[in-house]
Amino acid sequence: MKIVKTIQELQYLLKKEKTASRTIGFVPTMGYLHDGHLSLIKRARKESQIVVVSIFVNPLQFGPNEDFDRYPRDLERDTKLAEDAGADVLFCPETTEMYPDKPVVTVAVHRRTDALCGKSRIGHFDGVATVLTKLFNIVAPDKVYFGMKDAQQVAVVKGLAEDFNFSLEVIGCETKRESDGLAMSSRNVYLTQKERTEASHLYQSLIKAKNWLLDLESGETEKKMIEYLEEQTNGTVEYCKILSYPELLSPTAFDEKLIIAVSVRFSKARLIDNMIIDNVLERKESGEETCSVH
């Protein structure tokens, strides 16, 4: 595996691969890799001839009171994990390499951000879209892989790729979970032992909501999720929402997919999780009793 720290070197390297007509799979990360990240790298390895992984903690997507400075970083550990998972190239630029000066132009996201994390993290997805625009232009991949744990991010990235006509395929991959259902996240290391036990209830709330939706309206289901999480955890419930997917609007019977999403803030970590399901609104009318989970 080659370790690259400059944009010029990476573009020179990948130009040779493209000249040889090799396909490029790209996994953008902020590092502190876990099994969820590694599953993306392994899938890219199966589907692409060259696998590029980036590690860059992007300052543009952190708010003034968020955890940019203390976001976990361990490049030596990440390098070994990425190589073992099948990466060919590890791109790990410094902040000054990606942003040598204050940007003249940044990307503004206008839809799919008025709910869930985007509602409270003003400017977060603008920062995500800006850095991904840079990375997509630098790497020019054929396929790019994201975990569905942050389903709102996947929805925004798909919109970015479509609106800016990037010649790449955005692939959302299944959320990887611990044995008790907790979605894998770099921020899980911030949890105390008690909080770690409580955190498994985020996933349990999604399972319960999927079943409650068969008999209740979305608003009532959201209330029951909040009640459940307040009973089972000492965290602060930031939201429990059921929306259309990927548009993230109030659900109607015409939506093909729905997202059940949750966010809980513990003492030092804010955790999110979600479940994508087939629309159950029409199923209620037809008398069906099950819904598919994605």
254-272: pLDDT as tens digits: 999 999 999 999 999 999 9
Asked if residues 161 and 168 have their Cβ atoms less than 8 Å apart, the reply is yes
pLDDT band at 289 (very low <50, low <70, confident <90, very high): very low
Ligand-binding annotation for 33, yes or no, is yes
Handedness of CA 119, 96, 167, 14 (dihedral sign): negative
CA distance 194 to 192: 5
Which segments of 6-147 are extended strands (E)?
A: 24-29, 50-55, 89-91, 143-147
Q: Which of 37, 110, 201, 294 is catalytic?
A: 37
Q: Is 37 a catalytic residue?
A: yes
pTM equals 0.91
CA distance 208 to 213: 9
Ligand-binding annotation for 61, yes or no, is yes
Ligand-binding annotation for 147, yes or no, is yes
Ligand-binding annotation for 187, yes or no, is yes
Does residue 83 surpass a pLDDT of 50?
A: yes
Domains and CATH numbers, the chain: 2-173 (3.40.50.620), 186-286 (3.30.1300.10)
146-192: pLDDT as tens digits: 999 999 999 999 999 999 999 999 999 999 999 999 999 999 999 99
